[in-house]
Amino acid sequence: MNAAVGDDQAAGLRQWAGKQKRRETTEPATADVASAAGEGKSIGTKQTLVVVGLPSASYENSQCVVEQLERYAAAGKQWVGDPQQWDIVVAEMARQPLQQLAAECQRWVLWVEPDINGFQRAYYGLKTLQQAGAPKRVLLMHPPIASSRGLITNVEGVAERFFGTQLIRVQVPHDMASTVNES
């Protein structure tokens, strides 16, 4: 019975997303995580990372994104480089229009918070990405969670199906999921 309830809930979320969509895109995505995140950064220069979907309480403090970059670096993801060298821009607080940000910045993140409004915020984040003309390959970030089978998998499905966006999920070993590099 639990599986049936989970399947029904996922179907309900997909149905809700289908009703919310305005248009569907079909651009395929084929490159890897490093190209989506921007491999080959120069040492000493900041790379811009535009983040959508943060809870409003995090607009002024994007430390959660830096902490996730630190987890990636600790797990050996070389494309991260120095997590402190990323210039984090919260799209909802950006001073310039999002279309201008999309034209200037190639590296975007959809943040998914596993709270009661996480799916809805992710959906509107995907809609924001589409309306801004952001890349169709976007890094998916979220705080460490026990399982990605529910919320994260549903968000990935909605991104592909309704927005033509490929979310790139970076795998971090379970034993490193709560480890933050304290340099």
Contact (Cβ atoms closer than 8 angstroms) between residue 69 and residue 97? no
Average pLDDT (176-180) is 50
Contact (Cβ atoms closer than 8 angstroms) between residue 38 and residue 47? yes
Average pLDDT (50-60) is 85
Domain boundaries, the chain: 35-176
Q: Which residues contact 143 (CB under 8 A, 6 or more apart)?
A: 64, 68, 113, 114
47 phi, psi to nearest 5 deg: -100, 140
The pLDDT-based confidence of 143 (bands split at 50, 70, 90) is confident
Contact (Cβ atoms closer than 8 angstroms) between residue 47 and residue 107? yes
Contact (Cβ atoms closer than 8 angstroms) between residue 159 and residue 110? yes
User: Residue 55 pLDDT > 70, yes or no?
Assistant: yes
* Assigned architecture for domain 35-176: 3-Layer(aba) Sandwich (3.40)
The pLDDT-based confidence of 1 (bands split at 50, 70, 90) is very low
- Which carries the bigger pLDDT value, residue 13 or residue 168? 168
Contact (Cβ atoms closer than 8 angstroms) between residue 88 and residue 49? yes
Q: Could you give the percent of the chain with pLDDT greater than 70?
A: 68
pLDDT, tens digit (0-9, with 9 covering 90-100), for 60-99:
788 999 999 999 999 999 999 999 999 999 998 988 899 9
The overall average pLDDT reported for the chain is 78
The pLDDT-based confidence of 14 (bands split at 50, 70, 90) is low
What is residue 181's predicted lDDT score, i.e. its pLDDT?
A: 39
Classified as helix, coil or strand, 100 is helix
Average pLDDT (42-56) is 80
- Which carries the bigger pLDDT value, residue 95 or residue 39? 95
What is residue 160's predicted lDDT score, i.e. its pLDDT?
A: 97
pLDDT, tens digit (0-9, with 9 covering 90-100), for 16-28:
566 555 333 323 3
- Among 7-11, 13-17, 103-107, 110-114, whose mean pLDDT is lowest? 7-11
Strands across the sheet containing 166-169: 86-90, 47-52, 108-111, 137-141, 166-169
